[in-house]
A and B are shown apart, each in its own frame.
Chain A
Amino acid sequence: MTKNSNVIETQNLNKSLAASHDGSNKSSSTETLQILDQINLKITQGESVAITGSSGSGKTTLLGLLAGLDVPSSGEVILLDKKLSSLDEDQRAALRLGKVGFVFQSFHLMDNLTALENVMLPLELDGKLKLKNNDIRQRAKDALSQVGLEQRTNHLPTQLSGGEQQRVALARAFVSNPTVLFADEPTGNLDSNTGDEIVALLFKMQQHNNTTLVLVTHDDELAEKCQTHYRIENSKIEIVRAADSVNKSDSKEKVEKEIVSRTEVSVS
């Protein structure tokens, strides 16, 4: 895949829900609620994209559709050159396997698995890799040391702080070296200092792996760090800033500097 080939593309994407009302007005009980209206976007390899919008604007719905977690009412999503409408649930899952990573607002680590075991999961699920258990373990350990948690591999999530849990989630998301990473409010449950650290780490790893990043947030400051910025308003998507309008080398340099300083802070 060349750098400018589309990793994600949507064509006239629509999502609506049957909105049920209470008995007061029975005639409107079949009314539909339009959440996303005619969304068309293209996201290229290595691009970082922020999607912002107010609560309930549909930005998370869009994320779900792009990742193939949900199906649109009409229109098409092309993820990694596959039309999602032609795939069933398991085929969509297979498409994500090893190529799509997720970071969530509330971390969603498995409570019953240690940090290391959590990070090992994506590799264990991917039978095609035919990795030996020791190799999986080693790769997971490497991923954990990339996020600075090599000392906490055998801790359960409940024994980790929020920031540490999100680092484990990052390691888990990147361990399979995915093509696309979806992040849903990755700093939403963290205090601002910890949030900044996580963001720095996220961009560092994204750039290091040349991963396409789709980030949903209500935080415009965070959105500023992405190359492209879309905003959803009244079910429609509008572009706030396109990738080309930013001086990429500048921003990259800036980000990398920031990471260095943050990492130093977090290590100390």
Chain B
Amino acid sequence: MIFSRLLKQGRHFWRLAEMRLLFLALLVAVVAVTSVGFFTDRADRAMSAQATQLLGGDMVLVSTRPLNKKYLIEAQQRGMGTAEVVSFPSMVSSDDKFQLAQIKAVSKDYPLHGKIETSLESQGVIEITSVNSLKNDEVLADGRLFVALNAKAGDTAQLGSSKIKLKKIIRKMPDQGSNAFQFAPKMIIPLEQLPATGLLGAGSRASYSFLFSGDSSQVKSFSSWLKPILEKQERLRTLDDGLPAVQQALARGQRFLKMASLLAVILAGAGIALSSYSLTRREISSVAVLKTMGASRRQILLRYLGALVAVALLAATVGAIIGYFIQSYLAVYLQSFVGQTLPSVGFLPVVIGLATSLIMALGFSAPHLLQLIKTSPIQILQRSNSVAKSSLIFSFFSLAIAVFLLMWLQTSDLKLSAYLLVAVAIALGVFWIIALLMLKLVRKLAEKWPLPKANKRMALMVVVFGVGLFSLLLLTTLRGDLINRWQASLPDDAPNHFLINIQPNEVEPLTKLLEKENVVMPIYPMVRGRLVEVNSKPITPNDAAFSENQRAQRLLTREFNLSANESLPEGNIIQAGQWFEPKEKNGFSMEQGIAENLGVKMGDTLTFDIAGQRLSETITSLRTVQWDSMKPNFFVMAAPSAFDGFPRTYITSVHLSEVNSNVIPTLVKQFPSVTDIDISAILTQVRELINKAAFAVQAIFLFTLVAGVVVLFSALQSQKALRRKEIAIFKSLGASRSLLRRNLLLEFAMIGGLSGFLAAILALIAANAAAYSLFDLSPELDLSLIAIGTLLGASLVSIAGYINVRGLLSIAPVSLFR
């Protein structure tokens, strides 16, 4: 009954051009939300999947003692995937050559995510090897081990009491992100070979881990089962922890995607508000007639509410279907980049699309609807078409609530929603005020020059186009920044080797050696110290304050790597206080996140125990660190010469290309104590991740761009009726087509230029605010954006506007009298 009434009312209103426009704007919003929703949902999961490959599973349990098998059994009963890893250092020998290797004894299902890529020669064809395929004595090993043992694939070697066969060279494997700083080359042996080596007796130094995989609900419920029964030495690692580099890249990408779809929705919102405004103007006389017939306010409300709901439902349905197809098209592309099967489409985006459509239709039209209901029936006799005054407060709340609900729906991220809500409110207010002021100016100027007469309608257009252009410019800037800086954070010459354990007396000759190879990198002293006191009070992992804070406990258990430098390391940003003066001896600079974790702040005094000596300094600055830079990063840095009297080694990271292939061998020969860590493989993995994220960002950006243009057209369309009348009047007064054309173009260019100008200024401010607080990127002022925005606005609106009204130029003035 209700449905058939909706259908009927929907059909009646469909005959109104304004309603069809409203539908179009809603459709754009729903398509944006659902396609972006479908797509980010899948891309998100694909990206997480990629990230879990770095971890080797969705969740890893690590311990220094053998783990209780009941954990594995429980996980298997829950239908999760499991694997076991025992990792320990051991000497491997072949003939007279010896090399310390990191042995990973793994069960046959290892790894749960990702693959082990191998080859027979160091640069040979890559193939996938499963642990299962390894026979009794066969093992896989890093290329460095082959080099050190002077062996080739198929050679034998000795591991403990076992004779092993070095079957293939490991080119890439999961689980590398987490142990990049294990210095020794890795070797993978099947777990069942482990007892035969006789290497693991009681008290051996080994790390035992269980890997688990499952869907997110399984992982969640399993980890809540697991957490309370963990032993003290057992530690859970998930994606949320321990992989700062990947995590930061991922979080930024996701925030951007959400922001992009949200802005698409706001764009469409502008279109909806505009078309519902013109629908109201049009329907006023109908409402007045209905009232003369005896329609009550309730009947009128239901009539228009019904029409809106019908249109919203239609838009949601059609939008979801289109959205699905768009995302599957995008997904095909993504897949070829990801090179793996994407997770299937979720149903949630459909629900979100439906909710979006209803919220937008009702929230953005409610103030207008209220005006309609208030229409006085006497108007119909007075031949006036005035809109009843609407309550500003009601309009404001209706819009604010709608916008907030939309943001919440889109992001489920309160910080981001609040940010955008405030930004939108400020943007609208500023737009409106400045637009009115500038149009006043134009009116003044029009007394001297033949400029279009400025009016309220133009102010409205400036606001609508301004908001649209603002969204687009904001996205353009952020997208560029994000991708540039992602890629800049890992440029082609990003360091791929860490050199550690450099003795103080080796710093100079080593620097010279590297300089000769044109490789220059900052070199940092490194001192290991345990944090023992804060403000002269002892601090331990067992403090009540850290009972729930695993990360703090871990930090306090192990030693910090302390460093010092004259200048602020690249990629670090000071958040509070000041970096050290040259030659300064006092103070600590602390990474912000770690300070928050430990509950310390500016001005607190920290005491470190460094090999029996104590060093107490006050925190004089807090900074953020670019974890994904692959450069040495330190939680705590001291004043430049603070460690002069302490035993210390030095660390540096360098980029070595093929050209420098002889550097490492020379270096190892000349400085036997220096350890080289090759992180090229991790770099490749992170780079792939970034490329995928960048592609997703580009794709969604392009869609928002298209949505913006569609809304631009629908905004213009909504003004068409008024323009038709105006043009007819001008023509009846004898205006020529060329004069009208010139005036229209001038008006559109003025509207567009003005909105582009305002949009660019605001986008510049917003982009920097967002870069700073949401994406942890350092702000950058690019003033050329203002020129670009103004030109873009003027040309875009002129072209679109002209195309839109071109047909009206040939309208016969006689149409006025019909």
Residues of A bordering B, CB below 8 Å: 60-61, 63-64, 67, 69-70, 89-90, 93-102, 104-106, 108, 110-113, 117, 121-122, 125-126, 156, 184
Contacts of B731 in A (CB 8 A): none
Q: How large is the interface on B (under 10, 10 to 19, 20 to 34, 35 or more residues)?
A: 20 to 34
CB of B381 within 8 A of CB of A63, answer yes
Inter-subunit contact B383/A95 (CB<8 Å):
no
Given known contacts A106-B383, A108-B285, A113 and B296 CB-to-CB distance under 8 angstroms:
no
What is the minimal beta-carbon distance from B525 to any residue of chain A, in angstroms? 79
| Smallest CB separation, A53 vs chain B (Å) | 14
Interface centre among B12, B378, B382 (most CB of A within 10 A): B378
Sampled A-B contacts (15; CB under 8 Å): A64-B382, A67-B292, A69-B378, A70-B376, A89-B297, A90-B296, A93-B294, A93-B296, A97-B293, A97-B295, A102-B292, A104-B380, A108-B380, A111-B286, A112-B12
CB contacts under 8 Å to A, within B261-294, are 285-286, 288-294
Do B15 and A156 touch across chains, with their CB atoms under 8 A apart? yes
> B15 near A112 (CB under 8 angstroms)?
yes
Chain B residues whose CB sits within 8 angstroms of the CB of A96 once the complex forms: 292-294
In contact, A121 and B294 (Cβ under 8 angstroms)? no
**How long is the Cα–Cα vector from A120 to B376 in the complex, in angstroms?**
23
Per the bound structure, the CA–CA distance linking A100 and B293 in Å amounts to 7
Q: A112-B13, A113-B12 are in contact. Are A102 and B290 (CB under 8 A)?
A: no
A184/B15 in contact, CB under 8 A? no
Q: Distance (Å) between the CB of B282 and the closest chain A CB? A: 8
By a CB distance below 8 angstroms, the chain B residues around A89 are: 297
> Once bound together, how far apart are the Cα atoms of A64 and B291, in whole Å?
12
Give complex CA distance A108, B295 in Å: 15
6 shortest interchain CB distances as A-B pairs: A97-B294, A96-B294, A112-B15, A70-B378, A69-B377, A69-B378
Residues on A with C-beta less than 8 A from B200 are none
Determine the residue in chain B with the shortest Cβ distance to A99. B294
Our pick among A61, A93, A95 for the contact of B291 (Cβ within 8 Å) is A93
A105 to chain B, nearest CB (A): 8
Inter-subunit contact B380/A122 (CB<8 Å): no
Q: What chain A residues lie within 8 Å of B291 (beta carbons)?
A: 69, 93
In the bound assembly, the distance between CA atoms of A95 and B294 in angstroms comes to: 7
Once A108-B380, A112-B15 are accepted as A-B contacts, the answer to whether A126 and B294 lie under 8 Å apart by CB is yes
Tell me the B650-664 residues at the A interface (CB within 8 Å).
Answer: none
B354-398 vs A, CB cutoff 8 Å, 1 = contact: the mask equals 000000000000000000000011101111000000000000000
What separation, in Å, do the CA atoms of A126 and B376 have in the docked complex?
Answer: 20
Given A108-B285, A108-B380, residue A98 in contact with residue B294 (CB < 8 A): yes
- Minimum CB distance partner of A216 in chain B: B381
New contact pairs (19) apart from A69-B380, A102-B380, CB-CB < 8 Å? A69-B291, A70-B376, A89-B297, A90-B297, A90-B298, A93-B291, A93-B294, A94-B294, A94-B296, A97-B293, A100-B292, A105-B383, A108-B289, A110-B289, A111-B15, A113-B15, A117-B12, A122-B293, A125-B295
A-B contacts, CB under 8 A, total: 84
Contact of A60 among B12, B15, B377, B381 (CB under 8 A): B381
Q: Which B187-236 residues have C-beta < 8 A from chain A?
A: none
Complex CA–CA separation, A125 to B380 (angstroms) = 19
What is the bound-complex CA distance between A234 and B376, given in angstroms?
26
CB distance from A33 to the nearest CB of B (A): 15
CA distance A132 to B9 in the complex (A): 17
Instruction: Give B residues with C-beta under 8 Å from A.
Output: 12-16, 19, 285-286, 288-299, 376-378, 380-383
A108-B285, A111-B15, A113-B12 are contacts. A184–B297 as well, Cβ < 8 Å?
Answer: no
User: B294 to A184, Cβ gap below 8 A?
Assistant: no
Inter-chain contacts of A117 with B (CB < 8 A): 12
What B residues does A98 contact at CB under 8 A? 294
- Nearest chain B CB to A84 CB, angstrom units: 13
**Residues of the A chain whose Cβ atoms lie less than 8 Å from the Cβ of B293:** 96-97, 100-102, 121-122, 125
- Inter-chain contacts of A95 with B (CB < 8 A): 294
Which residue of B has the minimal Cβ distance to A104?
A: B380
Q: Which of A70, A101, A125 interacts with B290 by CB under 8 Å?
A: A125
| Contact call A125/B12, Cβ cutoff below 8 A | no
* Chain B residues closer than 8 Å to A108, beta-carbon distance: 285-286, 288-289, 380
For A64, give its contact among B290, B298, B378 (CB under 8 Å): B378
A37, chain B: closest CB distance, angstroms: 19
Alpha-carbon distance between A106 and B377 when the two chains are bound, in angstroms? 15
- CB within 8 Å for A121 and B378 given contacts A89-B297, A112-B15, A112-B16: no
The reply to whether A93 and B295 contact each other, CB–CB distance below 8 Å, is yes
Closest A-chain residue to B282, C-beta based? A111
B382–A102 contact, CB under 8 A? Answer: no
- Find the B residue at minimum CB distance from A127: B299
Determine the distance from Cα of A111 to Cα of B288 in the docked complex, in whole angstroms. 14
Q: Judging by beta carbons under 8 Å apart, are B290 and A121 in contact?
A: yes
Give chain B nearest CB distance to A155 CB in angstroms.
Answer: 12
Min distance, Cβ A22 to any Cβ of chain B, angstroms: 20
Report the separation of the CA atoms of residues A184 and B292 in the bound assembly, to the nearest whole angstrom: 12
By a CB distance below 8 angstroms, the chain A residues around B13 are 112
Closest chain-A Cβ to B298's Cβ sits at a distance in Å of: 8
Q: Is the CB of B12 within 8 A of A69?
A: no
Distance of A186 Cα from B523 Cα, bound (Å): 94
Task: State the Cβ distance, A194 to closest chain B Cβ, in Å.
Answer: 15
Interface core residue of A110, A121, A184 (most chain B CB under 10 Å): A110
Given the known inter-chain contacts A112-B16, A117-B12, A156-B15, please indicate yes or no for A125 contacting B299, CB distance below 8 A: yes
B294 with A60: CB separation less than 8 A? no
Which residues from B are CB-within-8-Å of A100?
Answer: 292-294
Q: Roughly how many angstroms separate A104 CA and B288 CA in the complex, as a whole number?
A: 12
Complex Cα distance, B293 from A101, in Å, reads: 6
**Chain B residue, CB-CB nearest to A101:** B293
CA distance A60 to B380 in the complex (A): 10
Nearest CB of A to B20, in Å: 11
How far apart are B438's CB and chain A's nearest CB, in angstroms? Answer: 27
Q: Which residues of A contact B295 (CB under 8 A)?
A: 93, 97, 125
Give A61 to B378 CA distance when docked, in angstroms.
Answer: 8
The answer for the CA separation of A43 and B299 in the assembled complex, in Å, is 30
Expressed in whole angstroms, the minimum distance between the Cβ of A6 and any Cβ of chain B is 20
Chain B residue contacts of A101, Cβ below 8 A: 293
Question: Once bound together, how far apart are the Cα atoms of A110 and B282, in whole Å?
Answer: 10
Say how far B757's CB is from chain A's closest CB, in angstroms.
Answer: 35
- CB nearest neighbor in B for A68: B377
With both chains docked as a complex, state the minimum distance between the C-beta of A200 and any C-beta of chain B, in angstroms. 24
Bound Cα distance A101, B292 (Å): 8
Shortest beta-carbon distance, B515 to chain A, in Å?
80
Which of A67, A69, A94, A106 has the most C-beta atoms of chain B within 10 angstroms of its own C-beta?
A69
* Distance A157 CA – B130 CA, assembled complex (angstroms): 76
Residues of B within 8 A of A67 (CB): 292
Give the docked Cα–Cα distance between A210 and B182 (Å). 103
Alpha-carbon distance between A60 and B290 when the two chains are bound, in angstroms: 18
Please indicate which of the listed interface residues B291, B295, B299, B381 has the most CB atoms of chain A within 10 Å of its own CB: B381
Bound together, the chains give a CA A95 to CA B382 distance in angstroms of: 22
